[in-house]
Amino acid sequence: MTQPTIELNSLTELPLGTTARIVRIAGGRDLNRRLLGLGLHIGSEIRIEHRRGRGFVVAAGETRIALGGGIVEKLLVTPLENTVVAEVE
């Protein structure tokens, strides 16, 4: 049986307003621990709120989290269907 293909994107590739699910964290144990402390883990749904340079502000539920560019590049996500994309800066 063939498994369905999941589209993986770096978080940096998605436009503002996109909601996505974290599928993979391309970092070590320390990064995973740091993100877990912020409430982010594989399976978390996040929404891109703002971009500031290479960094992002994402929403996870009611919480807003600022992530630096190095961390953002290591988050591999899959966009969720029915996402309303808003181009707001």
The Cα–Cα gap between 32 and 45 comes to 16
Strands 63-67 and 9-10: unpaired
Q: How confident is the model at residue 6 (pLDDT cuts 50, 70, 90)?
A: low
pLDDT of residue 5: 62
Q: What is the CATH number of domain 9-79?
A: 2.30.30.90
Q: How confident is the model at residue 9 (pLDDT cuts 50, 70, 90)?
A: confident
Model pTM score: 0.81
DSSP secondary structure of 5-73:
P---EEGGGSPTT-EEEEEEE-S-HHHHHHHHHTT--TT-EEEEEEEETTEEEEEETTEEEEE-HHHHH
Listed by start position, the domains of the chain span 9-79
